[in-house]
Structure 1
Amino acid sequence: MAVSLLTALIALGLLHVQPQLTHWRGDGGFRRWVAQLGDTSGPGRVAVTLGVPVVACLLVSWLISLLPGSDVLRLIFSLVVLLYSLGPHAFEEDLEAIIKAPDQPSREAAAQALSEEGEPVAWHAVALGEATAYAALRRRFGVLLWFFLLGPAGALLYRLAQTLGRDHSLHVDAQARASARAFANLADWLPAQLLVFTLALVGHWDAVIQAWKRWHQQQPPNSWYVEGPGFLGAAARADVQVDIEAGDGYAEERTDPVAELIRLRSALLRALLSWLSVVALIVLAGWMG
């Protein structure tokens, strides 16, 4: 896990100082691969679409382990896969585009880049906070969690599953889309749960946890498997709403979407540091043991 932590730190650092790296992280190759499987359908199509790239990733990792200097080569390969998996949009860059936009129409247009499934993002603090939380989950926290747990293949599988299950511009049959979306929701469950509790720790604990509990009480069992991790959206909305109601600035500032976005960005950064700190402690415990 030490190599994974080092790889993640390098990847996040590179994306911070060189955001233009996002320009090569397009999914054109994956789209062509999906199109080539047009004669298949249903869950089988999803299994082949996702399975072949992941198996190829595992095969490359195994071949690298047989070469001299495999540790360095493995780090480089893991870094390339992780950088790809954190795309195709740069999470921080999208937030910066909203914050630095010169006027409200530009801000509203920039906010649409946060949408994970092509749905419009309304220009008010609560909706913007919810969209930001989902974007953080699927462009950062979900990728990192599966990278730490399963290595490059886990990060790649998560990224491709989210693309196949949520990108409506991909032409797949209805059965395959439903299966891909269900798998994407399944991959979201664990990182979304952890992100909710991390947001509660770095933000408004009572509001976030109460919203999380209320969502689970009101929704049918396992509804997240079909509809996605709505408990994360509920938690994000509650976090923003309680900040608006208890804001310490002028009244007009409390509902300013940009001000809330800046606050939420800071909270998500603290959440990221918390995750990395936990991984670092695990690594240190392994060394001391």
Structure 2
Amino acid sequence: MQLIAILLALGLERLLGQLSWWGQPFLQQTTLRGARRLMPWPAIWRSPVIVPILLLPPMALTAALESQIENPFVSLAWSTLVLLLCLGPRDLADDINSLIAARNAGDTATATRLARALQRGPEPDASHRSLIGALFIQSHERLFGVLLWFFVLGPVGAVLYRVASRLPRLLHQEGETLGAQFADTLHGLLAWIPARITALLFGLAGSLDDALKAWARLRSDPVFNRQAGWSRQTWAILAEIAIGGLETDGEDGGGPALPPTFEATLSEVQSLQTRALLILLAFFAFFATGAWVSGF
């Protein structure tokens, strides 16, 4: 059922992405404002305890509702709905296409705004903050991280990662620095293994040799290992390995190189994400089929 729910959610996300209002992060922002009205105590909001207070209720509600569902078709519909709401907030391909269209139209202001929006969220250290690397991080945050946690824990897992990945930014916007730091640590813990799986998927979908070389370079870089914290290392590894998977052999035989134009690079990022997603779905299908067969 999980695999069917994933396929349905991905298809619905693609269809609903055509609607201008879809993908706006209203739900969590509204929930955060409601929580502030219910708990108008500054001491709580300045404490790390605000993170479990905001994280556990949606998980508990999801688990409670799921436990009441006995019909398998209703369970499938519920899982699909929860996963659909946890993906995004928008499909990365839509944002990339909008960025390409703005650049082609000469709309510098829109292109700059879209590029900055794509670079929001978790970032590695300054030497890895390229837009291309940020796109791969966004791909993990919007898609792969949620899918991996959904496959492990079902709807509760999708809610867990979706809320945990958004809380650092939301709390920073609210000026709650201590809570945001704790939320960022929790996010890093939840992303530590999935981000590396995503990096491997991008490597398998592209140039695996170059991806592994990029990983080896990071592991052997003493400055990077000394200065970057464990959480930042996760995002740097994801960005660098994915970019390594994107590289192709240069026409002059001079070694790996990125596509010749920025637009071509963005298009290849989309293609690489699609191929990585197909590989992940194939693994999901393999494990789901094995579980189904073992039930007989």
TM-score (norm 2): 0.82
Partner of 1:198: 201
- Corresponding residue pairs, total: 272
CA 1:53–1:228 in structure 2 vs 1: closer, same or farther (change >3 Å)?
same
Distance 1:168 1:132 in 2: 23
CA displacement, residues 66-118 of structure 1 (integer Å, 9 cap, x when unaligned): xxxx2122122212211111132332211221223322614333223312339
Taking only aligned residues, the RMSD between alpha carbons, in angstroms, comes to 2.7
Specify the alignment match of 1:231 in structure 2: 237
CA separation in 1, counterparts of 2:72 and 2:241?
40
Structure 2 residue 279 is matched with structure 1 residue 281: no
Deviation at 1:168, TM superposition (A): 5.8
Which residue identity is paired with 2:7?
Answer: L
Distance 2:259 2:24 in 1: 38
Q: 2:130 aligns with which of 115, 127, 130?
A: 127
Q: Following TM superposition, by how much is the alpha carbon of 1:38 offset from its aligned partner in structure 2, in angstroms?
A: 5.2
Partner Cα separation in structure 1 for residue 251 and residue 99 of structure 2: 22
**2:182 alignment partner AA:** S
Residue 270 (structure 1) shift: 0.4
* Residue type at the aligned position of 1:207: D
Q: Which residue of structure 2 lines up, in the alignment, with residue 122 of structure 1? A: none
Alpha-carbon distance change, 168 to 214 in structure 1, aligned in 2, over 3 angstroms: farther
Instruction: Give ranges in structure 2 of 5+ residues lacking alignment.
Output: 124-128, 253-257
1:196-240 deviation digits (Å, cap 9, x = unpaired): 111111111122112122223331499223665321112234344
Amino acid at match of 1:272: L
- Look up the equivalent residue of 2:130 and give its one-letter code: A
Instruction: Deviation per CA, 1:22-48: give whole Å up to 9, x if none.
Output: 246523333224534452132311111
Match of 1:12 in 2: 10
TM-aligned CA deviation for residue 153 of structure 1: 0.9
Higher mean C-alpha deviation, range 75-84 or range 34-43 = 34-43
Query: What are the superposed Cα offsets for residues 108-130 of structure 1, whole Å, 9 maximum, x if unpaired?
Result: 332233123398xxxxxx92321
**In structure 1, what residue type is equivalent to 2:281?**
L
2:148 corresponding residue in structure 1? 145
Change (3 A) 1:254 1:57: closer
The 5 Å alignment of 1:1-289 reads: 3-19=1-17, 20=19, 22-23=22-23, 26=26, 27-36=28-37, 37=39, 39=41, 40=44, 41-65=46-70, 70-101=71-102, 102-103=105-106, 105=108, 106-117=110-121, 127-167=130-170, 170-218=173-221, 219-220=225-226, 223-225=229-231, 228-240=234-246, 242-243=247-248, 246=250, 254-289=259-294
**Cα pair distance change 1:135/1:84, threshold 3 Å:** same
Percentage of pairs with the same residue: 27
Distance 1:146 1:118 in 2: 18
